[in-house]
Amino acid sequence: MSSSPITLEELSKHATKESCWIVVHGKTYDVTDFLDEHPGGSKIILRYAGKDATEAYSEVHPPNIVTEHLTPAQQLGPITLPASTSSSSLAAAPAPPAELSPEQLDRLVLLSRRPPIDNILSLHDFEAVATEMLSRSAYAYYASAADDEITMRENHLAYARVFFRPRILIDVSTVDFSTTILGQPSSLPIYITATALGKLGHPDGELNLTRGAGKHGVIQMIPTLASCSFDEMIDAALEGQTQFLQLYVNKDREKTKSIVQHAEKRGIKGLFITVDAPQLGRREKDMRQKFDDTTDGSAVQTKGGDKVEKNQGAARAISSFIDPGLSWKDLDFFKSITNMPIVLKGVQCWEDAVLAAEAGVAGVVLSNHGGRQLDGSRSGLEVLVEVVRELKARKLFPNPKFEIYIDGGVRRATDVIKAVALGATAVGIGRPFIYAYSSYGQEGVEHACQILKDEFTMNMRLIGARTIKEIVPAMVDASALSHHSASVPSDRLFEANYASLEPTRLRAKL
């Protein structure tokens, strides 16, 4: 590390691919040799070559990741402003600004306009508020799905094609909806599934989920692409709180091994390997934000000889490290490096669920990635019916050593109850919790959990089930589930929140 501070003039001289320095939190880093290793590719870093990258870095990265990936020699030291601008180094803790930026003012205005959290009656309400609270690019990233977004909508609408067959005259004075997931206690048959880039929605990012889930006894699945660091989320958990890890498999297996074994040492109770993303899907809402961003493709990229792809969006920009060569033979590798139960996340047909059960993994998540991968994929709920049928035919289910989960589209406790009745152990919920903390922070996460608990109490009484074990297949009619043209009442709340895709248009007249 340099013994003397770096000047702005010196920083500006290193603004090419051949010599690339950036500033993060007041410290200067030589990232020249790291450009090609960066999971999001070199183009993103080169936008900030010779500049302060703190704001962009903080939106999507844990605070300590830059030092973890660079050698001491690459960590050049603090940077100083000219004396006429500031008498102190940027490395010092910044003082509160005398005036708020326009963005901060806008945020304060939005916060003042939020309805009281007691007015939030359902998970749909969180999305309605978050739509107004989030920046355009953040909402586009969270809400986007693949291509025409048919699968994303189908994930939710599939639940409307399953109807209840409630039992009556059951003493439901007391109901208990607690369960176990991979042998770990859970207050509800749900878990918070992994979602990336939490700080796009709130400064505390995924820590809102950790803290809120801990208070309600709900399991959080930690994402590979979180904005907060893995250890931050572990350290923020309550004593005894259960957390799982979602893993995108790196092409470099040694890096993957290091991540997995570190997670196990820190107490992670389950490894969920994402298997439906050899390449991330085309999410046009997200991609269009980059297309409209006129700051991309600056002279810095031209100097470095690396043209920026304006249409890649946040999702594609952070995912180039994912291994498209992942295959069934890699399961032996994972079994050799960890004792954690392994679950395959992203199974979409009964044939692969059977292979997974026969391979000895602990379970599968029937998931299409929230509709963000292959548009036209079926809902996890629909796949669940055939998976249970075929596993039973082969005497592979029920099986205490193999559990089935689904995710995608859940907005009500009734959705979860339908899935449980059809054979799921638990259901993953993603976007609604993002919208909850984007709108109200940790309080939003806690309120979302309480809404689900209240809905469970009411609906278990109404169907005549006192425990999760009493929610059985006979309590639902799923005969229309695979009839995609079946006439069902429209879901007005869901449709009101859905933001339609927009085509590209002619530019305004000059």
**Active site members:** 248, 276, 369
φ/ψ of residue 58, rounded to 5: -70, -25
| Site of tokens 């990635």 | 369
Give the list of residues 6+ apart from residue 427 with CB closer than 8 angstroms, or none.
189, 190, 191, 405, 406, 407, 410, 415, 416, 419, 420
**Residue 114 in contact with residue 256, Cβ under 8 Å?**
no
At a CB cut-off of 8 Å and minimum separation 6, what does 504 contact?
288, 291
Helix-, strand-, coil-residue percentages of the chain, each rounded to 5: 45, 15, 45
Tokens for 144? Answer: 């986007």
| Structure-token pair, residue 36 | 């090609």
Structure tokens at 53: 């990258």
| Amino acid (one-letter) located at 343 | V
Hunting for tokens 């933001």 — which residue is that?
499
Cα–Cα dist 485/482, whole Å: 9
Distances (CA, A) of 201 to 136, 152, 195, 382, 489: 11, 20, 11, 31, 32
Answer whether 195's CB lies under 8 Å from 28's CB. Answer: no
CB 233, CB 207: distance < 8 Å? yes
CA distance 430 to 499: 18
Q: How many CB atoms lie within 10 A of CB 160?
A: 17
Distance CA(412)–CA(451), nearest Å, equals 9
Residues 171, 224: Cα–Cα separation, whole Å? 45
Tell me how far apart the 2 most distant CA atoms of the chain are, in Å. Answer: 80
Other CB atoms closer than 10 Å to residue 75's CB: what's the count? 15
